[in-house]
Structure 1
Amino acid sequence: MKLLTLTAASAALATAQAQQVSCPDYLDYAKEYHAPFSTGRYNLSYQRPDPACRTAASPALDGVIADMQSKVADPDLYRLFVNSFPNTLDTAIRWQGVAANNSAEELAFIITGDINAMWLRDSSNQMLSYLSFLKNASTPVFASLYRGVLNLQARYIQTSPLCNSFQPPVESGINASLNQYALTDEVYPPYSNLSVFECKYELDSIASFLELSSAYYTATSDIDFFRNFQWVSAVQTVLNVATVMRDTPTYTPKGMVNQSPYTFQRDTTSASETLLNMGIGSPVKGGTGLVRSAFRPSDDSTIYQLFIPANMQFATHLNGTSTIMSQLGHADLASQMKTMATSIRAAIEKRAVVTDETYGKIYAFEIDGCGSSNIMDDANIPSLLAAPVYGYTSDMYGSSNQIYQNTRAKILSDENPYFMEGPVINAVGGPHQGPGMAWPMANIVRILTSENQTEISTALREIVSSTDGYGLIHESINTFNVSDWTREWFSWANGLFGQAILDLEGRMPEVLMESYQ
């Protein structure tokens, strides 16, 4: 994959690429096995591209990978870490450059992997995997990427605030990859296929922009970045979207049908790819204090539009970024953000907690405000399982939140209709790939939210043994057939796995010294 423009930090890499005759498309490369293979039972392939074909470079990241070799005893686990952790940097930085009208405004276009488009959610999470490098002044490539992603996300949000994935910026010179499934979508408000790849309104998309913003500021204290470009305007747009989607129920107080601020219809054979009721979705009661979401982070439609994990994520990071807004001197906006965050959290605890006959009080996955609730969880983040990961609970394991712990127990049981069990892997899946397909991402989240060594070791063992020899984290895997999986190249999940290994090295290093053979 050729990188068209690079920051000064990657100039050496640009020279190497220019001298390279041809770099294979990683979509093809990741479908093949490559030597040298790991020396463990699973004989895992080496999947990092040649250094001259990597889309960005970081000696600091390579140093961490080398250092971890002495801290990870199992050769297959180490190979999986080697392949996975740098995957976004190696393969998914499609373009870096600057805005056409401001040479100081960095931009970075990051693809999900096998889809040549930038999702707000995925690109945020891809960057969050490298958060630990932001605090190190010797790793400017990561700070530049964070700023570039945030600036481009801010542009996208202001251009099409209800959309979830986007085309390359015009400055990149990269042609748009038209989404064949979206070409006949009927969406309100309208958008351009030349700038938008797909327009599914997902609350977690704008929440992820806030999460990445908060992470960058907390790590760097770089307040000038937020002052100089489009961030404030983008946050104002986010607030406008959230307010409309909170305050526009299906019916007026007199029973008339409101004009929906968003509608979506797709010609499809899959129910989860479109919205019912002629594109407006299931009816939503007003006055709940919760924000509607037409789609989930899996890009599947919600059954009930008050999607609780996204509201949890949004409230958490709306509150976090209010600090940035306050530091910028926008006291009114900061107060509005904090007030909305507080009210959403209160609404979650009041309306989204239901009593399960086995597990007691738990969080519902979705509600409609009329008394209906959807009790399940999905592998994609934000999920209920991942509530500590995106900061809704007061600690990384939700140990002080009994409702979360009850919810977690139900999610990881056969009383969650999308908990997939089998001899290959046992993990949460979802309707996106359907029954029987477990997502390794959910087991990674399980590791990140657990303090139980046996649970963590079991999850690691299942992940290591289920890559079908490729040594990459797939999207989903058939729980009874290790060779039946989806997406060989899924950067977000790979980065998340690397993040989990580094987390374990810091808090439970003995797990990394076990054998997973």
Structure 2
Amino acid sequence: MRIDRRTFVAGSVAIASTPAFAAAAPALVSKRPAPADRRFTSRAVEREIVRIQKRIADPKLAWMFGNCYPNTLDTTVRMGMADGQPDAFVITGDIPCLWLRDSSAQLKPYLHLVKEDARLAELFRGLIARQARSILLDPYANAFMEDPGATTNLPWALKDETAMKPGVAERKWEVDSLCYPIRLANQYWRATGDTRPFDATWREAARTTLRTFREQQRKQGDGPYSFRRSAPQPTETLLWGHGHPVKPVGLIASGFRPSDDACLYPFLIPSNLFAATALRELAQLAQAVGDVALAGDAAALADEVAAALRQHGTMRLPDGREVWAYEVDGYGNRLFMDDANVPSLSGLAYLGCVTPDDRLWRTTEAAAWSEANPWFFRGRAGEGIGGPHVGPGQIWPMSLIVRALSTSDAATIRACLRTIRDSDAGTGFIHETFDRDDPAKFTRDWFAWANGLFGELIVTLARTQPAILQETFR
């Protein structure tokens, strides 16, 4: 039988929902690996854990923070050297490969500590360098092997009909995969002022990103990328290898969503909004390192995508509300839904693509958190957004975390925290999804991005809404 990522994930549901596992009561002892078994240790992060836990009154939330915040460092980092420079390979968790998106997001919660810890800064530089080399290897790939000469060991990708290269783990073209490394580089530079990572290799990777984005505007045809996979779910493959047709309007076509599910209409609006934002960040960074031409090219493409978004990126719901569409094709066809994976419509403020008080976004986010979104679910265990990747009735804690990070409303934050706390099935970690009626049924007990995102939320609240963390949640 062919195995794909969903089959792999389904196995984790079966394990997690066994009666013995579901009945286990949480013992509030650390779930971290023993110090000698941790992959990477940062003194600044260890101090931050102690500092923040003292500010959390709810015992279980404090326990979960202590487990989750360092999870990327504890379990997913492989440090080495390449060409005399730091090299960091950061796996996504239970899948031992580096996703450009996930690895960038996994380090973000430690960004504010990077000036306090030279070794932590070295980790950031190592990942920036690894991502640049990965993009040069194949800008259309979403995931990579630790050994750049190895063939994929992901069982669901072994027979994909696409131009697989050594070092590539999976080759699903996703616009956000090239946005996240730009965001990571820009944030590191702004936090430190350090321009050492942005050498000739990094600048060539940035130019490759621009070229790939322009190819996928599809002004001269479909471009060089195609992908097909034999799988039970249509979201695992692209129609005729290129996906549904688009009319070139200046937007960038994406084969797949950040969930790794195929787009219905290839102009994925949240990813295009993220691309416009990231391209402006690239222009700022390129200017700072003296590459005027790269800065100009990035700014020009950002302006073009932003103009196309204004013209083609919105739609009206049946009740007349104007919202951002989720996907469009340039011919006038539009889809409204939202998926928990970021970039999402509900995550646009978190990503800095809009301001939290933007009227269009607030209307869009409210619709995404309602029955207007077919992937919004409400049940005995809580409410939240899911997506096609795992299926109906499955809530992604990521959606709750991003919602709490995108609002200043204390009641909303409390409700999100309560559901997050109570949906861990006693494991002390954040999962990919949980069943809307039974949190003991969940997927992925080792998902570092979600763990880190929860840690980021708690650190953010300690700074912006400390009184909320002084409450206990019934």
Into which bin does the TM-score normalised by the smaller protein fall?
over 0.9
- The equivalences for 1:32-43 within 5 A come to 43=27
Q: Percent identity?
A: 37
CA deviations over 1:396-428 (Å, ceiling 9, x no partner): xx21x1100000100011111001111112110
Higher RCO (Cα < 8 Å, 6 or more apart):
2
How far does residue 176 in structure 1 lie from its aligned partner after superposition? 6.1
CA pair 300-87 structure 1, distance change in 2 beyond 3 A: same
Q: Take 1:422 and 1:153, find their aligned partners in 2: how far apart are those partners?
A: 40
- The equivalences for 1:311-326 within 5 A come to 311-326=272-287
Q: Which of 76, 81, 87 is equivalent to 1:98?
A: 81
Corresponding position: 1:61 with 2:45: yes
Which SS does the other structure have where 2:227 is aligned? Answer: strand
Aligned length: 454
Asked if structure 1 preserves the Cα contact closer than 8 Å seen for 2:217 and 2:250, the reply is yes
How far does residue 359 in structure 1 lie from its aligned partner after superposition? 6.3
Which SS does the other structure have where 2:440 is aligned? Answer: strand
Q: Where does the alignment leave 5 or more consecutive residues of structure 2 unmatched? A: 1-10, 17-24
CA pair 259-380 structure 1, distance change in 2 beyond 3 A: closer
Asked if structure 2 preserves the Cα contact closer than 8 Å seen for 1:44 and 1:469, the reply is no
CA pair 177-285 structure 1, distance change in 2 beyond 3 A: closer
Q: Who is 2:142 aligned against?
A: 164
What's the Cα RMSD here? Answer: 1.8
Asked if structure 2 preserves the Cα contact closer than 8 Å seen for 1:92 and 1:112, the reply is yes
- The equivalences for 1:138-287 within 5 A come to 138-170=116-148, 178-187=153-162, 190-192=163-165, 194-227=166-199, 229-248=200-219, 258=221, 260-276=223-239, 278-286=240-248
CA deviations over 1:437-475 (Å, ceiling 9, x no partner): 000000000000011111110010000001000010000
CA pair 60-300 structure 1, distance change in 2 beyond 3 A: same
Which SS does the other structure have where 2:140 is aligned? Answer: coil
Q: Take 1:513 and 1:388, find their aligned partners in 2: how far apart are those partners?
A: 26
Q: Who is 1:293 aligned against?
A: 254
Q: TM-score, normalised by structure 1?
A: 0.85
How far does residue 43 in structure 1 lie from its aligned partner after superposition? 4.3
Letter in 2 for 1:98: M
CA deviations over 1:268-324 (Å, ceiling 9, x no partner): 111110011x211101001x1100100000000000000011111111011012112
Q: Where does the alignment leave 5 or more consecutive residues of structure 1 unmatched? A: 1-26, 33-40, 250-257
CA deviations over 1:363-411 (Å, ceiling 9, x no partner): 0000000011110010001111111121111x3xx21x11000001000
Q: Take 2:108 and 2:438, find their aligned partners in 1: how far apart are those partners?
A: 32
Q: Take 1:357 and 1:423, find their aligned partners in 2: how far apart are those partners?
A: 29
Letter in 2 for 1:284: V
Asked if structure 1 preserves the Cα contact closer than 8 Å seen for 2:129 and 2:197, the reply is no
Asked if structure 2 preserves the Cα contact closer than 8 Å seen for 1:297 and 1:381, the reply is yes
How far does residue 42 in structure 1 lie from its aligned partner after superposition? 5.3
CA deviations over 1:177-208 (Å, ceiling 9, x no partner): 61111111101xx122x411100000000011
Asked if structure 2 preserves the Cα contact closer than 8 Å seen for 1:49 and 1:90, the reply is yes
Asked if structure 2 preserves the Cα contact closer than 8 Å seen for 1:118 and 1:165, the reply is yes
Q: TM-score, normalised by structure 2?
A: 0.92
Letter in 1 for 2:463: G
How far does residue 247 in structure 1 lie from its aligned partner after superposition? 3.4
Letter in 2 for 1:46: S
How far does residue 327 in structure 1 lie from its aligned partner after superposition? 2.3
How far does residue 60 in structure 1 lie from its aligned partner after superposition? 1.4
How far does residue 44 in structure 1 lie from its aligned partner after superposition? 4.7
Q: Take 1:262 and 1:232, find their aligned partners in 2: how far apart are those partners?
A: 22
Q: Take 1:404 and 1:45, find their aligned partners in 2: how far apart are those partners?
A: 41
- The equivalences for 1:14-53 within 5 A come to 43-44=27-28, 46-53=30-37
CA pair 334-90 structure 1, distance change in 2 beyond 3 A: same
Greater CA deviation, 466-475 or 58-67? 58-67
CA pair 390-275 structure 1, distance change in 2 beyond 3 A: same
Asked if structure 2 preserves the Cα contact closer than 8 Å seen for 1:425 and 1:463, the reply is no
Letter in 1 for 2:89: F
Q: Take 1:465 and 1:219, find their aligned partners in 2: how far apart are those partners?
A: 34
Pick the structure with greater CA Rg. Answer: 1
Q: Take 2:309 and 2:292, find their aligned partners in 1: how far apart are those partners?
A: 26
Asked if structure 2 preserves the Cα contact closer than 8 Å seen for 1:359 and 1:407, the reply is no
Which SS does the other structure have where 1:483 is aligned? Answer: coil
Q: Which of 109, 112, 132 is equivalent to 1:129?
A: 109
Q: Who is 2:391 aligned against?
A: 434
How far does residue 45 in structure 1 lie from its aligned partner after superposition? 5.5
Which SS does the other structure have where 2:434 is aligned? Answer: strand
CA deviations over 1:136-191 (Å, ceiling 9, x no partner): 2x3112211111111111111111110000000359xxx7661111111101xx12
Asked if structure 2 preserves the Cα contact closer than 8 Å seen for 1:45 and 1:470, the reply is no
Q: Who is 1:362 aligned against?
A: 323
Which SS does the other structure have where 1:482 is aligned? Answer: coil
Asked if structure 2 preserves the Cα contact closer than 8 Å seen for 1:110 and 1:117, the reply is yes
Q: Take 2:157 and 2:316, find their aligned partners in 1: how far apart are those partners?
A: 40
Q: Which of 445, 450, 457 is equivalent to 2:407?
A: 450
Asked if structure 2 preserves the Cα contact closer than 8 Å seen for 1:359 and 1:410, the reply is no
Q: Which of 314, 323, 328 is equivalent to 1:353?
A: 314
How far does residue 356 in structure 1 lie from its aligned partner after superposition? 2.1
How far does residue 483 in structure 1 lie from its aligned partner after superposition? 0.9
How far does residue 108 in structure 1 lie from its aligned partner after superposition? 0.4
Corresponding position: 1:109 with 2:89: yes
Q: Take 1:71 and 1:96, find their aligned partners in 2: how far apart are those partners?
A: 32
Q: Take 2:320 and 2:455, find their aligned partners in 1: how far apart are those partners?
A: 32
How far does residue 261 in structure 1 lie from its aligned partner after superposition? 2.4
CA deviations over 1:42-62 (Å, ceiling 9, x no partner): 545531110110000012111
